[in-house]
Structure 1
Amino acid sequence: MWLVVDLLLVGVFAVVGRLSHYGTLTVGGWWTTAWPFLAGTLAAWAVLMAAGREPAAVSSGVVVWLGALVGGMALRQVDSQGTATPFVVVATLVLGALLVLPRVGARLSARA
């Protein structure tokens, strides 16, 4: 379940980014923005699975966040897409919120 949630939230990140910068959304434009971050997310999930980590754990959310961010930025660089400092800062904050906070919320609701 968490893999699907993470991929959907990274997809939402790309939608919001495209709409905020271009005002319109096409599948091709979305894919150009999304694929590096989706690939980074999948790479982080491979690490989680290889390590036998609990996907719902907050620490796993941190792993996914860092994988999506670092992997996404590295792939954007390889693909000659932008990695300007303001974009990296915004992506860091937004991906962190999207990929970690749902796990924090799930943890808190499980305790209640």
Structure 2
Amino acid sequence: MNAPTPLVPSGDRVTFNRAELGVILSVYGRMVAAGEWRDYGMSFLRDVAIFSVFRRATEHPLYRIEKRPKMRAAQGAYSVVAMDGRILKRGHDLATVLRVLERKLIRPVE
């Protein structure tokens, strides 16, 4: 029996698999430890799975990490979207796409 590929939605919703959540939560944990992020939310829809990160739970998300399997052949299934709707990074490898967020931790020392 063939196992489904990780980018194919199971049932009628797109979801993150365990490995993808591990990569996302690793970045999330480092950002929480740095005091940048404090909360997150997940949405699983027909065409997209979204992991939203917040500075405070009552605000709009700072960033959205999106998985769109239909974009896999074109520009890549994964993207990081800023609060204003700009796509900061898009690609086929989730860990590579999330590096754009880790650059936020690097600050100049004065």
Q: Same fold by TM-score, threshold 0.5 exceeded?
A: no
Question: TM-score, normalized by length of structure 1?
Answer: 0.34
Kindly indicate which of the two structures has a greater share of residues assigned to helix.
Answer: 1
Question: TM-score, normalized by length of structure 2?
Answer: 0.34
